Structure 1
Amino acid sequence: MTYSIFHIAQLLGGKSLLRTEGNISRLLTDSRSLIFPDDTLFFALRSASNDGHRYVRDLYNHGVRHFVVSDFQSDFDSMQDASFLIVNDTLQALQQLAAFHRNHFSLPVIGITGSNGKTIVKEWLSQLLHNDYNTVRSPRSYNSQIGVPLSVWQINEQNNLGIFEAGISKKGEIERLEHIIRPTVGVMTNIGQAHQENFSSLIEKCREKLLLFTDAQWLISCKDHAVVEKCILESGLRCRRFIWGYDQLCDLQVLGIDKIGKVSTITCKFGNETIIYSIPFTDDASVENSLHCLSTWILLETVIENKPLNMQLIASRMKLLEPVAMRLEVKEGRNDCLVINDSYNADINSLNIALDFARRQAADKQMNMTLVLSDILQSGEVAEKLYANIANLVQESGINRLIGIGTEISKQLDKFNIPQKESFNSTESFLGSGRWKALKNEVVLLKGSRNFHFEQISEQLENITHQTTLEVNLSALVHNFNYFRSKLRHETKIVCMVKAFAYGSGSVEVAKTLQHHRCDYLAVAVADEGAELRREGITLPIMVMNPEPNSFNLLFEYQLEPEIYSFSLLNAFIKAAVRHGESHYPIHVKIDSGMHRLGFEKPDMDELVGILKDQETVQVQSIFSHLAGADSPAFDDFTHQQLDLFKHCADTLQNGIGYSFLRHILNSSGIERFPEYQFDMVRLGIGLYSISAVNSPEMETVCTLKTTVLQVRKVKAGETVGYSRRGVLEHDSEIAVLPLGYADGFDRRFGNGVGKVLINGKLAPVVGNICMDVAMIDVTGMDVHEGDTAEIFGKGRNISELADSIGTISYELLTNVSRRVKRVYFQE
């Protein structure tokens, strides 16, 4: 559905400069995701960490001619053929337009909120109902103030069911989302601690979330959740209720749950009918999510649609529920390929998101792109029209090669105007052809409907090596980056530390992600690290914290900027720069304000000024220092002494050399505890990886070290496990062997019961000494099997607590993860 720019201007009000006509079908809030400029309307959103008005000029240069802004800047006057809608609040305007669009449709809409399970319930409902309804739903976890309007904008005339999730982080947000979603049926999953920091109690947060259902006709909830039930009863909501739980008065009564192996069988009663179904999961959260889905299904079919309940259909579909992959996984592939696995569903909206991600990866690595795409199932559109739209999207995304898999896409292959294209009727025929072996040095995006089992293709393309992996959540990294950026003034720059292989997480991928999200500077320890980033396409300024004279040539070759901390280093670098014919080469002057590691001291300032002011070979880009104890209140007096000394030295240098430069002294802890001393720039390091000096609940886990069980064996009491017979068993035990040793970074100090790993939701202690390549853990009574996943640190195992247990710091655990451990990057 399209709207004219004149129609949208009338709707949003405010002042309009309508210099060109146009019809709008696409809304854009992230300038980097532009594909179709002609029918795009860009909303220049402002946040604590960014301002969309910065990117208007760039978008204009790329063909966009329609903008919603809150600040008409002088630069916009020169864009004579662009239309500007000037409003007080661009986010509110986006939401207002989405709500207007929603009002055009009378389809039933399921609105889902709660603390956990929203995305799972949404995706499982889609899996269960996709044969019966033409469904539109939120892509991935688009449940925010921006994500919800973008999701609702997808509704079209072919849809006959909408499923949208709504999340909040503070009061007042859910009412804005309610006007956009306008749910017919509400699902309240549960209430927990997520985003609790902006609410005084769970009850306050629950009451806020229930506002989503102000005008809903039905509300689905679990009676056994005491806080939710209390809040609903006190809410005054007028909607009818469908309740499930163990109470016999529930609409759907749970009679029993049996868990055997990896399957849960749930027995329920609805009216006079007994429903028995199984799901391929045994965790309590999955059982609960399935009951929310079953309740929704029953309500839609028997109450709203007035159809008889089909027990056999329920049982057959429930047992086929699949895990929801809420992330795009990036893995190293064979033949120097980069494999992006997004094969848990395929529809045109999620394809758009995946193509955008793949396009950025390919641009960073200067690689061609191959799309492996299955048939798009249950779209509700005529095939010719659907694949014409897909072909247009794929072509505009810059795909170089298309491999279509499925009978329908094979018929429609001629619609794709792409240099290389081929098709196969099935996944099996593609794998059997061996054509996948021809993929070399390219980004390969796998996008397939579940029925096509693209995981088989992924297994063939991946560069399978070590079973131990370090998963790096790039979305969480960006979230943490923005958390720290929100504490700074708009103009304050950020240096991100990517030394030591980016704290073990992989410097290239981390640097590319930070560059993409407009970090200002990067910093490495040695020149070799900076040179590697340059070879991988990093264009940001890069500081080298420990430059050595024998690396000066690398600095000049790759435009790396050295830290200068002594007169001998300064003089040597000036001489080298003169030999290379350099002029005004940027350097960063280090001040020793109390760390007593490296740097010029206060008495050195006059001599330093004398050297720098009489030459033009180098130019001071910044002056900085390190805080010795910014993370601890016990050292606050000393920290203030350092800050005063640093300011004195910086002022002396600037007055002496006669020009200004950047100043920075705050590290991650300093940003959180001393933001008033942010000066011109700050340095963000360990904070990127969720380590917070104030234990902020807003931080998200970035790195997860995990492995798989190689073998489980029974060992009698009195026997020993491992080298030196240190692991003496006091009882008959079940011992699991993990492919993880000290050569992988699992410290030997974790041996003999000190360390514990998380497996199947329980902590299992290490038995005996840790070997070079393996470790043994006691899993007695834990129902552990070969192939089960064990987490060393991550969301379930706090890395700081783990470090404390052996008397070290999280930095050491992260940087100790060896390079033979495969890094798996993903975005949620």
Structure 2
Amino acid sequence: MIQSLTTHQISGLVDGEVISQSGQGLVAWISIDSRNILEPSKTLFVALKGAKFDGHDFIKSVHEEGVRSFLIQKGSTVLDNLTTDSTFIVVDNLHEALQKLAAYERSLFSGPLVGITGSNGKTIVKEWLGQVLGQKYAVAKSPKSYNSQVGVPLSVFGIEQNHQVAIMEAGISKPREMMKLEAILKPEIGIFTNIGTAHEEGFESQNQKLAEKAILFENSKLIIYRKEHSKIHDLLTSKYDSNRLISWSDTAGADYTLSIKKESDRSKILLMKPDLSVFTFSVPFADQASLENIRHVIVASLSLGLDEALIQEGLNHLKAVEMRLTLKPGINDCLIIDDTYNNDLAGLRLALDFMAAQRPKRRKVIVLSDMLQVGNTEIVYTEVGELLNFHQIDFFIGVGEKIKLVTNSYQGKSVFFPNTEALISHISQEDFENDLILVTGARKFGFEAVVNRLQQRIHGTTLEINLNALTHNYNFYKTQILPNTKVMVMVKAFAYGGGAAEIANHLQQLRADYLAVAYTDEGVALREEGIRLPIMVLNPVQESFIHLEKFDLEPVVYSPDFFRQLGKFCQNRNISMKVHLDMDTGMHRLGFEQEHVQELISMIKSYPQLIIESIYTHLVGADEEIHRDFSLAQLRSFVEMCDTISGTLDYKPMRHALNSAGIIQFPEYQMDMVRLGIGLYGVEVSGKFETHLKPISTLKTTISQIKSIPQGQTIGYSRKGKMDEDGKIATIALGYADGYDRRFSNGKGFVLIDGKKAPVIGNVCMDMTMINITGIEANEGDEVIIYGPGISLKELSERIGTIPYELLTNISSRVKRVYYLD
């Protein structure tokens, strides 16, 4: 919240009646969920009634946690014993009261607020725009898809005083909803993404839905939209003054012209502004849906004052957002378009356009489920059939109860199944060969199973993970420790680039004792993937306390303030939590120092809810002999601190200090547990047992093209590469966007082709790298080893002055991980 409020102020804002009042504490948090109240004394609990739960049923429990301010529905019964120390504000309509509070908080925000509505792309546009604007501004965004009558107010409460720009989604499912959201948001800048059939059953017509969505922009100074969306264009131009509208288009005639030149997996966007100045953007997308979304982002960024160079910088660093359209290799030389989370006409149109842009195959096949929440089904399915005819779909596979209505207009071959299970039971590999297959449908149909059935082992640029090699390395380190010494395995940073869930699952089978992750969300993701091992979280934050409890994660506690925050949280919720104490013996990063020990002991007594599961420290230089004396001094100091703390407890926490190098260098200090990290992944940094480990990962790609280049010609950007003699170069499908470090340019790096070294020539590009293959027999499509057996990560890292950790963790998420047992 931008401003804390007294309960008296809140009562006035929501036209409420105070039926009991105790104290005048400030409210800084608004909560509708009894499970995630972090500061009870500063929280107003709004007892909303939902489809499954009534918030009034949780008043007693949140009162026990320390909440003393409540917003309740008129007519609700309040327990007499709660009124003596709490404030209850009664209103006629809780949803409206929540929205009034949000509208007030919004009125305090002086920066521009961007409101986004439409049928598709709202969340992606919001995320990408936030990432680009983040180059210049502190940005507040709606969390996830919080765009409803409740989600929007909660999003507004997330705006803080430091934010300079806010970006909020607004979605509706029936008339008169948007006017309520507009009254809250009042966006200065609006973005209308597109119009489709989602939630159409709540409206008399698509035109009504369009008009309702446009209400969001009643008070907007600027409204951004794509001119090709004719219905949107017609409505906005008839409703709003032209000086408030900013249109963009592929072709001339709009305020901004943003034409596209597609490459293999990238695109260039040529911008022409109203003053006829031009700029070319480069974006890592080639599908139509992404290109539409990113152009909304570009125009909005320009409207908010970002220059083109800064926008491009933001585009270069876009974090991955889960996309709906994915192209995957399939069985029998098929290609699969995975669109398994799409379920409306606008999305289907985009998917079919994407399909049309792919290379020709023997047949065009589509697997489509019933469309949900689309209004008049007969009209919708007739249009679906017409779309299939237009795109010349050869074979249609329908799943669901109503999908057969497509045959009223579709003229091709079709087959229907009542559910996904029936379809999968009839799929045979012999049914598909050299086909282009689009799989699209509602989430409830679980079409991921269809994609998995049709998908083939991924080729191209891949990171292959050998789970047998991982087992070998794990067992090697087990031989270096005593039988009773436990092993904690570090799976932070996506398991050093290898893929956390899959590796964690394998470690679970190997009976590892503990896992460690960097952040709480990494631990949550592992729990959601079925990982049951104890998980230590190295860098927890206060906002994640509720998730630590919910997912049984064990946080590291590293400072007196953090200890008290977590202790109060557990005390207020009347729960206990296992924690791990980080002792700073020389790293000087995080951790309790010697001077904190007595204060720490006092806090442990004050907050018995925090169970000290372990005490640990980080060694600064265990992998280097030059730091041996310092490491020993660290270990002696650590033992002393542990003894002091443990001596005050009636139980004995585990102690651990050794990392992968420490296991080898200081076996006498293995204590109760060791922490295995880089060694598990095949890198023995001390150098003593390097030959005992196996590399678990192989990064490989393929040759895209081979060229014969005469002596004296230059290669690549800035003409950095030069042919010293007549020879051949090969371009491989890997660049710095994949995590191949640009410092490998100009001969610093090399790759293996058929066991022979081929040096990098010229600069490493974003998606491609050129290598000198003079004297090497090679063909286009041949496999290229970037690192793995024959090229050690240690050697590569030394060539560019870094460490193996960086090379491992830099591999981009767009590089597909393949797991196998050899």
TM-score, L = length of structure 2: 0.46
